[in-house]
Amino acid sequence: MTSPILISPSILSADFARLGEEVRAIDEAGADWIHIDVMDGHFVPNITIGPGVVKALRPHTKKPFDVHLMISPVDQYLNAFAEAGADILTVHPEAGPHIHRSIQHIKSLGVQAGVVLNPGTPAKMLDYLIDDVDLILVMSVNPGFGGQSFIANQLRKIEAIRKMIEKSGRDIRLQVDGGIDFTTAPLAIEAGADVLVAGTATFRGGASAYADNIRTLRGG
């Protein structure tokens, strides 16, 4: 693979009482993007943050905000998250009635558009979306909580999507999120991922360990 491996630490595993400091710390430690998990307690069984927190975090780093929207219905919140400072908005096909329309809406806001495939969502879902997205996120756990174990059969899906991206000829990032640690990161990269989301593995050991954690995840 020619694309560099990017690390997008999930702040879901950060100290929520010190989120601004944590974002600055992972920025300084070498994070490429900042992954922000937005959960509504409806589409997924957890509640996290809204656009107000994204806006409050924006001054703490210039790194891209990679915002994964696990909310339904999602369309009515796209403008608010773009205005709050998201650089990438990633949505689930199941979170709205018309995924293609959602992708077009995101792009009209001047931010990058991503689509997320849950473990049970087939790669074929991308057949008529791949020409419009900037990022594809494969969930290697069922969304809702951090700290879950990697679902190994998603490696086949990552491989299939990598082939689809290469066939398309487009510059599309392939991201994997869920159970990414020092053991599973190399497997995801080998299967074709070029962006890794890691929460627990990044934030393990406190701020002094973040740089080593990120370097190890990247394969360095």
Two tokens, residue 76: 């009515």
In a domain, residue 76? The reply is yes
* pLDDT for the residue numbered 72: 97
Total number of domains constituting the chain: 1
Q: Decide if 135 is inside a domain.
A: yes
Judge whether 127 lies within some domain.
Answer: yes
Longest dimension (CA), the chain: 45
CATH of the domain at 116: 3.20.20.70
Residue 147 assigned ligand-binding role: yes
145 is in an annotated binding site: yes
pTM comes to 0.96
How do residues 68-107 score in pLDDT, each as one tens digit?
999 999 999 999 999 999 999 999 999 999 999 999 999 9
Domain contains 207: yes
Is 39 among the domain residues? yes
220 labeled part of a ligand binding site: no
121 carries a ligand binding annotation: no
171 marked as binding residue: no
What would the mean pLDDT of 142-157 be, rounded to a whole number?
92
pLDDT at residue 147, as a whole number: 79
Structural domain span for residue 154: 6-218
Catalytic residues: 37, 177
Domain presence at residue 163: yes
Burial class of 50 by CB neighbour count within 10 A (0 to 12, 13 to 18, 19+): middle
Q: Is the pLDDT of residue 59 over 90?
A: yes
pLDDT in tens, 5-42: 999 999 999 999 999 999 999 999 999 999 999 999 99
Query: So what's the pLDDT on residue 1?
Result: 42
Q: Is residue 158, in this structure, part of any structural domain at all?
A: yes
Mean pLDDT of 36-54: 96
Average pLDDT, the chain: 96
Instruction: Retrieve residue 214's tokens.
Output: 């990120």
Evaluate whether residue 104 is within a structural domain: yes
- For residue 175, CA distances in Å to 8, 45, 110, 120, 185 come to 9, 22, 20, 17, 11
pLDDT category at 146 given cuts 50, 70, 90 is confident
Instruction: Answer for the pair 116, 88: CB distance below 8 angstroms, yes or no.
Output: no
pLDDT tier, 2 (very low <50, low <70, confident <90, very high otherwise): low
100 is in an annotated binding site: no
